Structure 1
């Protein structure tokens, strides 16, 4: 699996990364969601460079222009709920893409331990298509693994791009181990070294879902 970290080079991406981590700016959920969308747009642009194109002739008012166009739009998948603004950013660029939605959540036991529970998948056929699976945070890596394996129930994609804004080092290593496939690329915006016992990335940014849509009642 190839891992691409966009923060390895300086770009406007890092400006938005600084904003999304800033606890003062986080107080504005509209700004938070907008930055999630911006990340999706930047990831979409970068991923688009890896896709297949063919030359098309486009008639202009003054003649014919030969322009490369995508052969096939990808399928955009996300894990509810935090992934929705990130997916919208991807959809802003891949604006004719099909979409898939995965419901997964943390299920806690009486000791406060949790595992990721998969509930629901709505997806088109994925055979021989490029799929982009997005989730803002890659902490333990379990949600991304479950989402990826859920998508494979709908076919065999030609390539799968996994997208996360902030990942933990442990999460990246876990995904590399559990999704050992040559046709998978992991795209991240930053990799943080630490993670708490409850699988929150440090320094991270907190709970992306709560910051985007408001706090929820815990299920434990």
Structure 2
């Protein structure tokens, strides 16, 4: 969970100023806010989350204790491959997350038919990743989504037009899933070199090697 801090600071002579921080992880924001309070000069302090909801210090502390027990700091990598010869698609995704003070890596792939292009396979891979995120119980938080498909990333960012009906349908499914979970995505396009893990999973799926695992990292 990320928040920014809003502080009203009052000097010994009564002069006041308002300070607003950049967006910070909740735990980090609490440390800074507590340090501010120790100055004895803080008139008021509040936290504002990504949904513009305001939090007091006590309320945020209580929430963060619960937050740590749930999956958070989610980063999703996805990749899809399509075999023209067999008309089969391989989907791969990796989900990194933290929970109870530990870090985890979830890996999942799938072999599917009834797709018609590599771009469709890329969309389907992202949808597979979001299904895994939903299964973890993730909701009402931001997640980072990373892939090497510039078509998928830029279309979901509304930076590129989507003329193909099949891709438009996949984009709608992705957006509906995110909306139902109240998840705010941050999309990042990377090179294939920086997306090798889901690429391997997609290739393994096409070869009939099924992978489904979660390990502590």
TM-score, length basis structure 2: 0.36
Whichever of the two has the greater Rg, that structure is: 2
